[in-house]
Structure formats: structure tokens, C-alpha cells
Amino acid sequence: MNGTLQVVLIIAVIAYMLIRRLAGEPAEAKRMLLLPAVLTVIGIVNLDGPAHSGTALLFLIGTALISAVLGALRGASIRLSRRDGIVFMRYTWVTLALWAANIAVKFGGNLLLGAIDKNGAAALGDSVLLTVGIGMLLEGVVVLGRALRSGERVIWAQGRDGAPHQTSPWLDDLQRQLSRRGRG
């Protein structure tokens, strides 16, 4: 995937998600887990051999870890509520600030790597999808964990055009286990 297409894809995904989550939306496990997992896999596939440079590999690991931590913090900063019998999630200003920090760290890290190791920076040019995907995945895992512990219904996917929401036996079982663990 070329750099321009990758940047457009990242901006589109983040903008779509920010708009929906600022307004508030159902906590859908499918959306919180699958899209970030797909972005992470695409990011891994698009890596252009960072192992050729120890510096580049170190920067990749560092930015991935920072993205994971910031994603988990974003997940903790999201406001959860109950609406229509299900868990809703809504971004806060703290969540937005953490997104801005995440983007600044990634691009700042890439600029710093470019100043230190131009070849390494070229090898990691396509790692943005990987680090964004990792951060979003950790955000989703934290939000999902919080939502499941809330005692309210967590859906797999939102129903479309008046259709009922899709549920998941796996999520229901996980929520029952977490509820029992919380009481015990």
C-alpha cells in the first residue's frame, strides 16, 4: 500500500470513529475488536523489513508500546452509559487529547528516526497502520472489559434498518463469568 493511500485510509478511519464516538454510540464488540485487528494485520503485512536496522526495530517496538499504552488510557477515559438497555460509549476531551498525543508520538518518532537513520525510517514508513491498529485494539479491549463488568447488555453488532442488535453467546458467557468474579 503506498504512503498516500495509507495516510488517507488512516485519516478516514480515525475521523469516522471520532465523529461517531464523540456523539456516542453503542459499545459494539465487533467494531471495537475487528477493525483494529484488521488494521494491525495490514500494518504487519506492510512492514518493509525493519529487522535490517536495529534502530528502526527499536523505534517500531517503542512506538507500538507507546500506542498500546495510549490506547489503553483512551479506553479508560471513554464515558460509558446505559441507553435503550445496552451499553453506550462516548469519547471525552481526555480521549481526544490522548489521540492527539498518540499521533504526535508516532509522527514525531518517525521524524526523529529519519534524522538518526534514514534507511531505518524508510523501512518503517508503512508502520502507521500497525501502531494505530494496536492502539485501537487496546482501547477496544479496555472499553469492552469495562462494558462487560458494567452489568449492562453488550452487543456484538448494532442492528441496521430496524433489525434487532446482534448478540454473541461468547460475550454473554464472558459477561456472566466477569459478574460472578466481581461478586465472589
Domain ranges within the chain, ordered by starting residue: 3-147
User: What pLDDT, in 10s, does the model give residues 4-16?
Assistant: 777 787 788 888 8
CA dihedral in degrees (161, 164, 168, 173; nearest 10)?
150
**Selection from 137, 68, 64 nearest residue 98 by Cα:** 68
The H or E element containing residue 62 is helix 54-77
CA distance 26 to 67: 24
Q: What percent of the chain has pLDDT over 70?
A: 91
Instruction: Give the pTM.
Output: 0.88
Q: 24 φ, ψ to 5°?
A: 100, 135
User: What pLDDT, in 10s, does the model give residues 44-103?
Assistant: 888 766 556 788 888 889 999 999 999 999 999 999 999 988 999 999 999 999 999 998
CA distance 109 to 115: 10
pLDDT at 2 over 70: no
> Where is pLDDT greater, at 157 or 183?
157
- The helix/strand/coil state of 91 is coil
CA distance 127 to 143: 24
pLDDT, the chain, mean: 87
DSSP per residue over 164-184, as a string?
Answer: PPB--HHHHHHHHHHHHHHH-
DSSP per residue over 132-148, as a string?
Answer: HHHHHHHHHHHHHHHHH
Q: How many C-beta atoms lie closer than 10 Å to residue 19's C-beta?
A: 11
